[in-house]
Amino acid sequence: MGAQTSPALPVPTRRQRLREQTQNEIKAAARAQLVSNGPGGVQLRAVARDVGLTAPALYRYFPSLEELVEALTVDLFDELCDVMEGAAAPAADPFARMLELSRAFRRWAMQHPHEFGLLFASPPTALGQQPTNACQQASDRFGNLFASAFIAIWDAAPFPVPADDEVEPAMTAGLMPYRTWLVANVAPDMPLGAVVRFLEGWVRIFGCVAMDAFGHLSWAMPDGEPMFEQVMSSLAEMVGRPDAYVPPKASV
């Protein structure tokens, strides 16, 4: 009845706190399994064992194994986004921010290949079923990180891009919905050609990171970082700022 109990939301009851804590323990155990067994190797009974419960008890916290993995996915997207945001100062030069965002992305992917696999290689596994709202939201946050970084680069210093009528008609058509959304919501003055450049860059960054994380580069080189850095350097040229690329600080 004290005065400070009036806002209902910020005062979770004791049980709620314990419940949330247990949920986190469960997700942590699930992640440990993900790390050692890969996506698909997360087992409900094993998670329960690790956390000191019987299997049916987990159903008090997650309605199914699948939803547990989904919750873990959301957490991992958030972790990845947090790491990326923590690595790139928003106030920095826009391209420097993009550079640091991308490097943090690559670093996280290399350090957590199985988590990366869960986030980015599952679609073929789960093809045909649309993702959960929460999942979609989490991956949107990730996408927006890159998009807003690109928009900042463009707003700070537009660079030459193909004119609207130089873009392939097929691409123009396919890109229209996204482009109108962009213009209406976040980047009023971005031409179609810039959107194309954004996607090109995103494909190169993601492709480089994903191939490395999935081991599709190791036949030619043991470490994909130099290739990644070169991609970033060539992207600096693409956005008309060849000087903006700076090599990474030497790692320890």
User: Which residues of the shown chain bind a copy of itself in the complex (CB under 8 A)?
Assistant: 38-40, 113-114, 116-117, 120-121, 123-127, 143, 168, 170-171, 174-175, 178, 195-196, 199-200, 203-204, 206-208, 210-211, 213-217, 219-223, 225-227, 229-231
Residue 249: name its binding partner from DNA, a copy of itself, none (Cβ under 5 to 8 Å by kind): none
Q: Amino acid identity, residue 110?
A: M
Are 224 and 210 spatial neighbours (Cβ–Cβ below 8 Å)?
no
Distance of alpha carbon 85 from its chain centroid, rounded? 11
Of the candidates 159, 156, 69, the one whose C-alpha atom is nearest the C-alpha of residue 118 is 69
Residue 196: name its binding partner from DNA, a copy of itself, none (Cβ under 5 to 8 Å by kind): a copy of itself
Does the footprint of DNA cover residue 129 (CB under 7 A)? no
What is the crossing angle of helices 94-111 and 133-156, to 10°? 150
Are 34 and 118 spatial neighbours (Cβ–Cβ below 8 Å)?
yes
Q: Which residues contact 238 (CB under 8 A, 6 or more apart)?
A: 159, 197, 200, 201
Which one, 63 or 160, has the nearer CB to DNA?
63
Residue 60: name its binding partner from a copy of itself, DNA, none (Cβ under 5 to 8 Å by kind): DNA
Angle at 101 between CA 95 and CA 103, to 5 degrees: 105
Which one, 55 or 238, has the nearer CB to DNA?
55
Does the footprint of DNA cover residue 66 (CB under 7 A)? yes
Rounded least distance, CB 16 to DNA, Å? 7
Q: Which residues bind DNA (CB under 7 A)?
A: 13-15, 18-19, 22, 42-46, 52-57, 59-61, 63-66
